[in-house]
Structures are given as C-alpha cells and as structure tokens.
Structure 1
Amino acid sequence: MDRSGNLATEELKMDEKWIIVNEEVRRPGAMTREQYILATQQNSLPRTENPQFYPVGIYGWRKRCLYFFVLLLLVTMIVNLAMTIWILKVMNFTVDGMGNLRVTKKGIRLEGISEFLLPLYVKEINSRKDSPLVLQSDRNVTVNARNHIGQLTGQLTVGADAVEAQCKRFEVRASEGGKVLFSADEDEIVIGADRLKVTGTEGAVFGHSVETPHIRAEPSQDLKLESPTRSLVMEAPRGVQINAAAGDLKATCRKELHLQSTEGEIFLNADTIRLGNLPVGSFSSSSPSSSAPRQTIYELCVCPNEPRNVKQYKNVSYSGRWLDYIR
C-alpha cells in the first residue's frame, strides 16, 4: 500500500509539473478550465500496476448470425438480379420499347394483336400500310367522341345485332372528291349517289308520299308501281304524262274506269278507235199498237268539224257512220 501510494504521489507531482510547464510555455499566468478538469480527472482515477483490457467486437453466436444474414442478403441480391435479367429478356426490353411496343417520334407503335382491358384514350389510330386495322371485341365495339367538358357528342356502336350511330348528323362520303353519298339528320335524309338501286324482291316500301321528277326502270326491265291493298295516286300540279315509246299502254280495272276532265276535253287521237264488247241494237217492225216494250237507242255521232255529243234516238237502224247501243 505504501508503495502504491508513493507511486500515485509521484505521478501526481509529475503531472502537476507538466501542467505548470505547459501553461508557462503557452500562456504564463493561470491554468485553463479544460486543463484543470483534465488534471483533476486523471488524478482522481486509481492507478494499478497491472491494468485490465476488455475486448471490443462481436463474438460467438452473434457473429455467426451476422454472417448468416449477410450471406442471405447476398443470395437475395443474386436471385433478384437474375430475375430482373430474365424479365428483361422475356419481355424483350430494348432502348426503343418493350416487346411489340415501340416508342417512336410520332407516338407508340404496336405490332401484332393487342388487348386493352381498360378504356383507351388516343388522338389517332393508324394501321400499317400493308395491313388493315381490325377492332375486335367479345361483346361490342364502341367509339365515343366528347367535347372539352366531357359531354358525349357522338357514339358509334358495333354490336352483334345492329350498328348504331348517335350524332347530330351522319354522313357517308366518297373516297375521291369527298362527295356526300348519304347524309341523315333529324330533318331529312339525303342520298347523293348518281343512282339509287333497290335489289330486294319486295321492292321499295314508302309509308308516305314520294316526290321525284323521274322514275325509270333498268334497261330491258319493266317498271311496276303497285299498291297491294290500297289505291295508287299520282298527282302533279302541271300534269301527269305517261309515255310508252316502243310498246303498249294498258289500263285495267275490275269495276269502272273513269276518265274525267273538270274544265277541258278528253282527247283520243289515233288512226283507229275501237270500242269492243258493245251491245248492238236491233230494229223491230212492231206496230204502234203492240204491247211489247220499246227499246231506247242512244247513238254516238262522230262527225268531223262538229261538236261531238251523244244524241238520243228511237228505233233508228244501224248505218255505216253510226254506233248505237242499248242502255
């Protein structure tokens, strides 16, 4: 104990001398606060002849666990890197795009068949120059057009039963010149083609009136206007003309055929005018006192440069210029 106490006293004296010498060299006068605290702390610690050293680090099972986690992390990184390389290889990732998807200056280019599970918003869709553009769906294909506030302005739906178009005006134009071939809106339907051809066996059925300047059949074909259950009316404010340039014109009816002119004449102009199936009146020489009924005979006089009228005569014989019949 005496020896250790002497050593501690000598070390304390040497430390005080070292502090005093350093203080005199640096700044003569007083000891700084840091030097005082350091000197007192060093002097207060007990001094031993054989100091003990404690190892610093991770040993035992902790070290083995640390190595295990490092190895597991390394394996995970290798597997992740391998999976990333495999995905890049399978999906065909390149600088220009992924697989059949190519990113160009004009937009996105898709090769082959593409499926869209959600709505597609694009400005323009074009196909390749050597192949058509096919839009296919299990139910229907709908194309919508909206304005700047999102309201629906036009819709085209291609379904299994029908093709529907909803818009203010529907137009079909020719590929050359842009001529309107067909247009439809709420007010009218316009067909701008040079010829309208109906090839159905039942023809064309119109629910209301038809206004046209010309009705013509195909060459070497007959033109037939028919109303199966009702009447057929043709009206024109300036006249109706029916002309058969190379054939006959027949008018047939089941009951009566009326030719009526309210203000003008009925003019029959032909080389021969025949009235067939007319009954011919016969002359009887019965006496005036006979009780047999008398026949009333009407004669139609056809005379040039004279008014043509019907006169009533009785018991007149048939002559070459008279046509008589019994009424």
Structure 2
Amino acid sequence: MPQEQYTHRSTLSNSEGPHVYKVGIYGWRKRCLYFFVLLLMILILVNLAMTIWILKVMNFTIDGMGNLRITEKGLKLEGDSEFLKPLYAKEIRSRPGNPLYFQSDRNVTINILNEDMKAVTQLVTGPQAIEAYGKRLEVKSNEGKLLFSADDNEVVVGADRLRVLGAEGAVFPKSLETPYIRAEPFHHLRLESPTRTLVMEAPKGIEINAEAGSLEASCRTDLRLESKDGEILLQAAKVKLPRLPRGSYSSSTGSSQKVYEICVCPNGRLFLSQAGSKSTCQINTIVCL
C-alpha cells in the first residue's frame, strides 16, 4: 500500500518539530489480505477448470448436450436415453432403418388425454399381460383393410379366414352367428356340445355337406329334425335304420320271413313289423306305448 505522509505544524508552539502520520495496511493484516486474494484466485481457477471439464464430459456444444441434439425438426436423441419423469411429445420416431425400443423394469404405459387432461385411451404393457382401454380397438392391414375390431357391442373379424389352432378348437359360451363354417383341407369338422344341447337354426334352411367323407350326428338322448313349413328329405343310395325296434312275431307268416315294413306311431316313433298280405302295423301298436 502507498504510504501517505503529511506534516502537521503546531500553531501553538514553533519550537516543536513536525509530526509524521502513516496511512495504510501493515503487518499481519497485509499478509491476510494477500492470502485471501490468492485463495480467491485459486477458487476462480478451480471453478473455471471444473466448468470446462463438465462442458467437456457432458459434451456441450452449440447444437445441444450429450446424446441430445437440437435440430430444425425438434430434438434428436442418439443412443440409449432414460426418462425419470413423464415425457410429452407430439411425435416419437427412430432413425430411418433402425427400430424403436421402449424398455422398462416394470410397466410401459401410453396415455392419450382429452382437453380436461383425463385419459381416454390407455395402453399398458406389463410382465403379466398387455391391456388396452378405449372405446374401440381396430387392427388394419397395410392397405387399410379392417382385420379386427372390438367395442362394447360387437367383435368383428374382417380377415378372409379365421383359424383356431388350439387342440380343443373354439369355445362359444353364447350363440354363434356365421354364414359358413368349413374345416381345413384333409381335416375333420366337428361341432360338439359335451354337456348341453347343440342347436342349429336358420330362417331359410341349413345345409350340411361333406363332399369327400361321411357325415355323422350322434347324441346321448334325442336327435330331433324338425321342419315346420317344409319337408325333411333323405336322399341317398341307401338309407339304413339298423336299430329300429321290431314288433311281435306272427307265426302265420312263417319263421323264414325277412321282409318288414316301417311303421310310424302317433308320437312319431318308428318300428319294424313283419310284412304280410296286409299291413301289420296295427297288430304291433303295443310298441308305441
């Protein structure tokens, strides 16, 4: 520090000599001041060095920082990125030719909000299942053709063919409405109701066709074919009813009689009766009881 001195001359006595006063910082105060100034300079240099190191490590540039780049079209992330808070974006897409991955240790949830910030559509993918919430679900092909849709009223399968690959087939707890049911080539078609009744109804007729095989219908109790306004036509080279009951044997026709006539009971039951010169159905009406 500069030293300032001035001479004070007393007006009272001219015999006294001049007095000199020193103005400044001296001694240990001066050394402490130099120490603090040096410490401040060291802190400034360390802070500057740390700032430069952080900028270098975080890869700060004019275009962005780290894997984040600011472009004219938005933000561009390169490599793996981790978001600890919700991400709001208008569009998320990968680089051309590269897949887009969403990875989480638990669930991945995608929400679509309305104007009131309430979720109207939600997609939740978890370790147990994939759940979708919305008014309607649609799956379309690349050409825009509807393949599958589901809402509260119905489920629509728009594909040309519906294939069920399970060994047990398809199970319908309620009714099934379809214009056509067909098995795959060289496979059997089986309609079965193990514990209840199997009912087939159509306003304009039911056609059952097996072009290259046989047709079999079996049940435990009653098999009923009903036509209210039309007829039931059995058209084949041979029509066999091998297990019809037979009426009582008549000795007048002879034991070698092998010709029978088919009789119908009032309740619709069929039975066989040995043929004679006249109808023998009335003789064996006891079968109808």
2:179 corresponds to which of 205, 213, 219: 213
Under a length normalisation based on structure 2, what TM-score does the superposition of the two structures give? 0.78
Partners of 1:284 and 1:315 within 8 A in 2: no
1:141 corresponds to which of 104, 108, 119: 108
Partners of 1:142 and 1:157 within 8 A in 2: yes
Partners of 1:142 and 1:155 within 8 A in 2: yes
Partners of 1:153 and 1:167 within 8 A in 2: yes
| Counterpart position of 1:170 | 137
SS in 2 for 1:197: coil
Counterpart mapping for 1:188-207 below 5 A? 188-207=154-173
Kindly state the Cα deviation for residue 107 of structure 1 after the two structures are TM-superposed: 1.2
SS in 2 for 1:238: coil
CA distance in 2, matches of 1:114, 1:314: 92
Kindly state the Cα deviation for residue 315 of structure 1 after the two structures are TM-superposed: 9.0
1:94 corresponds to which of 58, 61, 65: 61
Tell me the alpha carbon deviations over residues 232-259 of structure 1, each in whole angstroms, 9 at most, x when there is no partner.
Answer: 1000111111122232223334445444
SS in 1 for 2:82: coil
Counterpart check, 1:316 vs 2:276: yes
Partners of 1:184 and 1:190 within 8 A in 2: yes
Kindly state the Cα deviation for residue 52 of structure 1 after the two structures are TM-superposed: 3.0
Tell me the alpha carbon deviations over residues 104-124 of structure 1, each in whole angstroms, 9 at most, x when there is no partner.
Answer: 111111111111111111111
CA distance in 1, matches of 2:51, 2:275: 124
CA distance in 2, matches of 1:114, 1:227: 55
CA distance in 2, matches of 1:315, 1:57: 152
Q: Which moved more, 1:151-160 or 1:258-267?
A: 258-267
CA distance in 2, matches of 1:178, 1:256: 49
Under a length normalisation based on structure 1, what TM-score does the superposition of the two structures give? 0.70
1:276 counterpart letter in structure 2: P
Kindly state the Cα deviation for residue 298 of structure 1 after the two structures are TM-superposed: 8.3
CA distance in 1, matches of 2:237, 2:97: 70
Q: Decide whether aligned partners of structure 1 residues 224 and 85 sit closer, same or farther in structure 2, where only a CA change above 3 A counts.
A: same
Counterpart check, 1:187 vs 2:153: yes
Partners of 2:112 and 2:120 within 8 A in 1: yes
Tell me the alpha carbon deviations over residues 71-94 of structure 1, each in whole angstroms, 9 at most, x when there is no partner.
Answer: 111111111111112112211222
**Percent identical across equivalent pairs?**
58
2:45 counterpart letter in structure 1: I
Partners of 1:299 and 1:324 within 8 A in 2: no
| Counterpart position of 2:26 | 59
| Counterpart position of 1:36 | none
Kindly state the Cα deviation for residue 69 of structure 1 after the two structures are TM-superposed: 0.7
SS in 2 for 1:137: coil
Counterpart mapping for 1:1-327 below 5 A? 46=11, 50-174=17-141, 176-277=142-243, 279=246, 282-284=249-251, 299-300=261-262, 316=276, 327=287
- Higher helix proportion, which one? 1
Q: How many residues align?
A: 261
Partners of 2:260 and 2:275 within 8 A in 1: no
1:245 counterpart letter in structure 2: E
2:206 counterpart letter in structure 1: V
Kindly state the Cα deviation for residue 299 of structure 1 after the two structures are TM-superposed: 4.0
Kindly state the Cα deviation for residue 273 of structure 1 after the two structures are TM-superposed: 3.5
Structure 1: stretches of 5+ with no match in the other structure = 1-44, 287-296, 302-309
CA distance in 2, matches of 1:120, 1:213: 48
1:209 counterpart letter in structure 2: S
Q: Decide whether aligned partners of structure 1 residues 54 and 206 sit closer, same or farther in structure 2, where only a CA change above 3 A counts.
A: same
Kindly state the Cα deviation for residue 263 of structure 1 after the two structures are TM-superposed: 4.5
1:316 counterpart letter in structure 2: G
Kindly state the Cα deviation for residue 99 of structure 1 after the two structures are TM-superposed: 1.7
Q: Decide whether aligned partners of structure 1 residues 111 and 243 sit closer, same or farther in structure 2, where only a CA change above 3 A counts.
A: same
